[in-house]
Chains A and B, each alone.
Chain A
Amino acid sequence: MDNSYMQKIRNFSIIAHIDHGKSTLADRLLEHTGTIDKRKMKEQVLDSMDLERERGITIKAKAVAIKYKYNGEEYSLNLIDTPGHVDFTYEVSRSLIASEGALLVIDASQGIEAQTMANAHIAMNSNLLLIPVINKIDLPNADPENAIREMEELLALPGEDAIRASAKEGIGTEEILRAIVERIPAPNGDVNKPLKALVMDAQFDFYKGVITFVRIVDGYIKPGMKILMMASNTKWDVDNIGIFKPGMVETDILRAGEVGYIVAGIKSLSDIKIGDTVTDNTNPCDRALPGYKEVKPMVFCGLFPVVSEQYTELKDALMKLKLNDSSLFFEPESSEALGFGYRCGFLGLLHMEIIQERLEREYNLNLIATAPNVEYKVVSTKGETTICDAPASFPDFSYIDHIEEPYVKLNLITPSEFLGALMQLCQSRRGVYVTTEYIMGNRALLTYEMPLAEIIWDFYDKLKSISRGYASMDYELMDYRTSDLKKVDILVNHEKVDSLSFITHEQFAYNRAKLLVEKLKEVIPRQMFVVPIQGAIGASIISRETIPAMRKNVLAKCYGGDITRKRKLLEKQKEGKKRMKAIGSVEIPQEAFLAILKVD
């Protein structure tokens, strides 16, 4: 077979900081090339999940095949729209491995932000060609020149490469399409070599089973072939194959350089490994592709059903969500306070929030979430290391030699006026200063090394409020470092409530224990008796508050015969209590378990 068809293929991703207009730009490209009928067009059409539409963000990367006529010749463009949020950076990395180039979208009114940098660097490190697109030039406060200068300075990209565009108004669309053809290299595989394809992603479909998304590197694939997944060493018969337009459209063949899907009778997502290499079972390739770095959950929390009868429902729901979200981790956890539930791991706080919301909304579960924490490496006095992702699972501190916690490299981009305040924030969160780089005099790139635990502790909200929304942040895991950490236990009415325990650096222990205990005093309603709330490290009490006994709850006037209404009122009050967790004889509302995040 001739490889020359590849000259007419371009594979690219759209990358950017969150909200800079990737999905809107994808809309214009689909519309301009007639991939989607104008009548079926809607805003951010590729954001097809309910949650994506509701929140207006992209969560999963999505591939679409586009036909584009350039100088009278038809080109096949494979576009991948990626998410911008830091929790989903792994989706960007995966997409870029399947691309030869990327559109780097920059909001002309915001300039370069933290994820612009992070994502651009991922692309550059894989030697991809970048086409800078200065988007939203229609906005009154757009400053494309400034955005271009920042780009030159921070990313060393030549300013004349930038295309000025408005994805909203369709300005620059044709120019972008031309640039894709002109600047992005054609794929350089060989269709005559044995099949070698990258498993980019996979999705579970109720009727078809697992749909595997692939980028073909060498060779070709056809229905009827027997394929071998090299890493997992499993064999499958290909039923059918196709491409996304953006719906699935069957084709006869997928060749080197092309992007598409395979349906091969795979029953469960657990049978397949993202990043695996697909090859021809009868004529395998010599070496597998390097694949993907494994995505690991970074943030953990306990999820417990308010009523214990929902435990199995919770389990089923988590299993269903996991079908299409391999980054979700969960294992059974039992808490003295909250009963049976699951310890769940997430990529970040947004991921955690999304999963919780889906569980509650789509699966009708009423859940109590415990405060999120990171994963610790606990080294015992005997030198054994255990991984602890829950404060409750920490061994007795007398058996602990030392504890290591994850550190991240944190990049902040901020207007210079907030620099001082942000440095103070980072310092107060145990940040280790690395550098400040000024960008064109009025903005700065601030780099710190910081414990991840401090970032999930309400850091983002603080950052946004200090900078009035202007600062952006990005972080990536660096390493584990030994820290002087303590476990603070909370006792309610003299009973330890394991799900309220938290791990914190020694220097914050007293203050956080004090603030949490104060906060709990506010959120736990008065009971019929006095309830002491105490914070403790080991056996020593370090803070204490007392919730006074309830003094009144009475219907003062009860004349007139509307007894039904009065009874219903009391029934409702009683029902409200059932939604709380009774710990011993104290009723604790759901919000108490998250109160820790609100102290600082």
Chain B
Amino acid sequence: MDNNQSTDQKPSPAASGLYVHIPFCLQKCPYCDFSSFDDIPYLADNYIEALLRELRYYKNNFELNFDTLFIGGGTPTALTEKQLDYLFSGIYSMVNRKKMKEITVEANPETVTERKAKVLEANVNRVSLGCQTFHEHHLKKLNRIHDASAIYAAFELLRKYGTKNINLDLMFGIEGQSTAEVLENIKKAAALNPEHISFYMLTVYDHTEFGRLKDEGLLKLPEDEIMEHMYLKGAQVLEEAGYAQYEISNFSKPGRQCIHNLNYWKPGEYVGVGASAASCFDGSRYKNIDDVSEYIKRLKTDSDPAETSEKITPETALKDHIMLRLRLVAGIDPHVFRDQFSFDFESKYSNIISQFTKQGLAINDSRGFRLTKKGFLLSNEIIQSFF
């Protein structure tokens, strides 16, 4: 392979984010809808090699200029220090680390050891830690492998070794959970003073363990009214603690929004490598196959790991724009919208807009059309009415 092509011959996608998927976890959570597996750790070495090959393909064909890198999973920190080293040095040999404003890795408390904390500090500037809840009985319900003390220990280690930008994932709507418990979680999380908190509702997906239990009537989630209350109250407590909401489930200290995720909702372009990773560039969307062994095999044989690809038509671009922008507190910016679609959002959708603003689910003013907190809870319904 000739890696010394002159750079000006390569197309330069506007992709500003790079996503790297690590599909390994120590133990699969019963609600988890992500592509992650707890029974194939032996594939990790080959897998990293494969995804670096995929990245090399992009490197060879495009001029890469990423603002952000997000290593997600799964649990990237389930990899050994050696594997993490291999992964990072591989990535950094191909993309310019210095230009990147934000490099995030996802981690779970049980995997954050002293040595890993050091590896992370050396390679990333943001860690997203899955903690979900501080209540032991709820951690058990979620079949999480760690207890509450592991959350504190992991957080402390990350800070001790210098990670300055940390997100905590908090879940609400767990079976048997009360609003008081949800608020207690938020307070405990805020007391740690992370830069960012994701506060999201437990969603049950059909093909997961929880999906099966729910079908059989063995899983009883809190009533919708209670979920609503948890969300509205929780958001309020978060804001009181200095975490401003900027997306349906995301809250941060000033200036600490996740840049990588913001790009998805813009919606901007990005490249994803690894099994199940999605990409969007050059007017198309791609999604890699989920199966890890198959992914490795395809890259060994230099075949395309994409399972699906979709050309973005003006119609889907419009749907995506509305769908993603309405996730943001900032909502749909009328100027950006007009520039992109050459028509006026407000006049085209005036009926829908007034319907939702009247119901208190949305606000429409010179800053644009955006959902209220109540509107966020019904965002699927609201978005659909534009489809």
| Residues of chain A having any CB pair with chain B under 8 Å | 526, 528-529, 548, 550-567, 570-571, 573-574, 577
Contact = CB atoms under 8 A, between A and B. Distances in A.
Interface in B60-81: 72
Given A551-B225, A552-B228, A561 B381 contact: no
B227 A560 contact: no
A577 B287 CA distance: 28
Given A570-B384, A570-B387, A571-B387, A556 B201 contact: yes
A557 B329 CA distance: 15
B280 A557 contact: no
A552 B224 CA distance: 7
Given A551-B224, A551-B225, A564 B378 contact: no
A560 B323 contact: no
A557 B279 contact: no
A554 B320 contact: no
B292 interface: no
Given A556-B203, A563-B285, 16 more contacts: A548-B225, A550-B224, A551-B224, A554-B201, A557-B249, A558-B248, A559-B261, A560-B264, A561-B19, A561-B270, A561-B272, A562-B278, A562-B287, A563-B280, A564-B308, A577-B384
A562 B378 CA distance: 21
A567 B319 contact: yes
Nearest to B225: A551
Contacts of B34: 560
Contact of B377 (A551, A565, A567, A573): A551
B359 interface: yes
B278 A560 contact: yes
A546 to B, nearest CB: 13
Given A561-B19, A561-B278, A554 B359 contact: no
A528 B278 contact: no
A548 B228 CA distance: 13
B383 interface: yes
Contact of A551 (B228, B277, B359): B228
30 contacts: A528-B359, A528-B378, A548-B225, A550-B381, A552-B224, A552-B227, A552-B228, A552-B378, A553-B377, A553-B378, A554-B376, A555-B248, A557-B203, A557-B249, A558-B248, A560-B72, A561-B264, A563-B267, A563-B280, A563-B323, A564-B308, A564-B310, A567-B320, A570-B323, A571-B319, A571-B387, A573-B384, A574-B384, A574-B387, A577-B384
A555 B203 contact: yes
A384 B152 CA distance: 85
B327 interface: yes
Nearest to B19: A561
A553 to B, nearest CB: 4
**Chain A interface secondary structure, helix, strand, loop or mixed?**
loop
Contact of B264 (A556, A559, A564): A559
Nearest to B376: A554
A323 B272 CA distance: 61
Interface size, B (range)? 35 or more
Given A559-B264, A561-B280, A554 B378 contact: yes
B205 to A, nearest CB: 10
Contacts of A564: 278, 285, 287, 308, 310
A162 B202 CA distance: 69
B293 interface: no
A526 B223 CA distance: 13
A566 B321 CA distance: 12
Contacts of B203: 555-557
A124 B83 CA distance: 90
A555 B323 CA distance: 11
Given A550-B224, A561-B272, A528 B381 contact: yes
Contacts of A565: 287
Contacts of A566: 323
A529 B359 contact: yes
B324 interface: yes
Contacts of B320: 563, 567
Contacts of B19: 560-561
Contacts of A570: 323, 380, 383-384, 387
Contacts of B387: 570-571, 574
Contacts of A574: 384, 387
Contact of B323 (A548, A556, A562, A567): A567
Contact of A552 (B272, B280, B377): B377
A561 B324 CA distance: 11
Interface string B5-17: 0000000000000
A573 B308 CA distance: 21
A559 to B, nearest CB: 6
B86 interface: no
Contacts of A557: 198, 200, 203, 249
A573 B323 CA distance: 14
Contacts of B384: 570, 573-574, 577
A202 B199 CA distance: 71
B324 A563 contact: yes
Interface in B219-269: 224-225, 227-228, 231, 248-249, 261, 264-265, 267
A528 B379 CA distance: 11
Interface string B345-383: 000000000000001010000000000000011111101
Central interface residue in A561, A562, A573, by most chain B CB within 10 Å = A561
B382 to A, nearest CB: 8
A21 to B, nearest CB: 40
Contacts of A553: 377-381
Contact of A556 (B200, B316, B359): B200
